[in-house]
Amino acid sequence: MTARIYRPARNAMQSGKAKTRDWILEFEAEAPREIEPLMGYTASTDTKAQVKLRFETKDAAVAYARRNGIAYTVHEPHDSVRRPISYSDNFRFDRKNLWTH
């Protein structure tokens, strides 16, 4: 029973950062998923794979795992660096790039 502690990445389809502030403790699957022959659904006997616990800080998630004797791995987030740009910079006289049209 091992767990991953991580901070989820931003949704690629949206520009907002909702649900990326909290840290998540998620158990790794112990049993493989199987396809049900009758309906074709994927099923698993591992119920811990359904559990996701949210914490405000990484330290709180690590403390929870240690307190309950859960083996864990911490995955550090890769924060993107966004430089502020302005629409008016497109029309500056001293532009570095040439105007295309």
Q: Assign domain 2-8+20-77 one CATH number from 3.30.930.10, 3.30.160.190, 3.40.50.300, 3.40.30.10.
A: 3.30.160.190
pLDDT in tens, 2-25: 999 999 988 888 878 888 899 999
CA atoms of 22 and 101, how far apart (whole Å)? 45
Distances (CA, A) of 65 to 19, 26, 33, 52, 68: 21, 11, 25, 13, 5
What's the predicted TM-score (pTM) here? Answer: 0.73
Question: How many residues does the structure list for the chain?
Answer: 101
Structural contact between residues 71 and 2, judged by C-beta atoms closer than 8 angstroms: yes
Residue 38, beta-bridge partner list: none
Is pLDDT above 80 for 82?
no
